[in-house]
Amino acid sequence: MGSVQAAIEARAVTYRTRAGEVTVRNVSLTVGQSELVAIIGGSGSGKATLLNSMSGLCPPTSGTILRHVPGDELQAAGLPSGQIGYVPQGDTIHPVLPLASALRYTLALREVHASPEAVERALGTVGLSPKSAVSFGALDPGERKRAAIAVELLAGRGQLFLDEPTAGLDPAQATETLRMLRRLSRGGMTVLLTTSSPLDAARCDKVAVLATGGHLAFFGTPAAARGYFGADSLDEIYERLAGLGDPAAAWSRRFFHFSRTRAGFTQVPTTPRAPGPAVLVPDSAGPHSAGRPGLAFPGGTGFLDNTAAEDDADIEDGEGRPAFALAAAAARVPGPHAPAGRGGALRPVRQLSVLIRRNAEVLARARRTQVILAVVPVAVLLAFCALLGAGALDGPAAVTLAWAVLGGLAAGLAYELPDSRTDSGVLRGETFSGLSRAMFVLSKAAVLLPVLAIADALILAVPAIAGRLQAGFGAAYLAVLLASAVGLAAALAVPVLSARR
């Protein structure tokens, strides 16, 4: 039985939605340094919620998450770390940008200074070196996922969290992605992912099996999981969790008893005698590192029992920090040297500059967007011609202005809505690393508003030539431009709100 340094500790983690639904229920487990761990379970088991809680993206309602990040102090739940990477579902890079260029923009937002040679090396690590000049959208789904992982490599992450990294991939692409993640874990990175594929889970070092309602039904090696559930394959575990013989919650209770009474599990005192780096004490079969793990502190003879830690998790100091987190944070956890180029998020004002440059290049390369920018004002202009010919503008000047304002509002919406899905994925991937949503919106406005200003002038051309703007062109133009800005803001709210989900 060997000792493995703890990387991520979930202690009595529970997550309750605003509607009051409990999606993760009292989960405790410890992931060792350089382990590749999969969270599996059926629909409604809380896989993504547990992953988001352990990464810090979505702090738990109760309980504590501790992350021992190489080079940083132990991180308590909710505290960001420059050593933690997160890859959500879906694409997180603009499809029209060349791969190498897209990576450089993303790294610039994280204040990571990577040379072109470093970018090429990272792309080579994920098998994409020949595709550096290819647009991201031209890559196949597996290559796009590996490109997102390359960003985290360049940023020097010590821990990587991935939400369904093989979703939508064919078997060959999924195999290559898991093979790459295993190489990364063997190189010193701790990797935690969710998956709905039993085949992918079988390739991981450990699996955390969640039952419906967010119960932890098992945590250990894939082989131990098969033996524990009496299954010939991980696929059959889903049948067991569906209630064929045992209700879902019963597996959680059974596993807790199993992990506390199984021969080889060390019962430990509640207080360590000497502080130091937390070390996981696993069993080679896997299950004894789950449930309520004991942590040994080198240099002392004491141990820390998670039972007491769970009680302490609800006790806070005067600044609202968990008492257990304060006790554990006294220890620095050594780890492998982080890759060169490591940095943190840029200040918001500097983010704005990078985002404007990236949005300008996206606009220069996106042919579909350029067509939309050109067609919308022409379409509104032709509509005004039709209205004028039909006599619809023969009434009061306010009617003409109302039609013009409506046209400006439509232009503002049309300039962003077609790209809202892409922007949502990009924003979801980058807010974890500190991207300001306000700077994202301002950068889009800085690039699109000048184009809208020209479009609004074209929209008013026909009413102005026909003499239907009795209040003057300037006043009408300002009203239409304001309407366009409102439409653009409403369209930009779509990716911002979507990225929060």
Q: Per-residue pLDDT tens for 184-208?
A: 999 889 999 999 999 999 999 999 9
Are 78 and 90 in contact by the 8 Å Cβ rule? The answer is no
Extents of the domains making up the chain: 4-83+157-328, 348-500
- What's the pLDDT score for residue 321? 36
**Whether residue 237 has pLDDT greater than 60:** yes
Distance CA 444, CA 262 (A): 58
| CB-based burial label for 29 (10 Å; 0-12, 13-18, 19+) | buried
Distance CA 393, CA 377 (A): 18
- Two tokens at 414? 């049309």
Low-confidence winner among 41-55, 232-246, 251-265 (lowest mean pLDDT):
251-265
The pLDDT tens digits for 302-356 are 223 333 333 333 333 333 333 333 233 322 223 333 333 445 567 888 899 999 9
Mean pLDDT of the chain: 78
Q: pLDDT category, 263, cuts 50, 70, 90?
A: very low
Distance CA 347, CA 344 (A): 9
Distance CA 341, CA 363 (A): 29
Percent of the chain with pLDDT over 70: 76
The pLDDT tens digits for 457-480 are 988 888 888 777 777 788 889 999
Residue 87 has φ and ψ, to the nearest 5°, of -120, 105
What is 4-83+157-328's CATH superfamily?
A: P-loop containing nucleotide triphosphate hydrolases (3.40.50.300)
Distance CA 324, CA 66 (A): 10
- Check residue 322 and report its DSSP letter: B
**Whether residue 74 has pLDDT greater than 60:** no
The per-residue DSSP string of 302-320 comes to: -EEEHHHHHHHHT-B-TTS
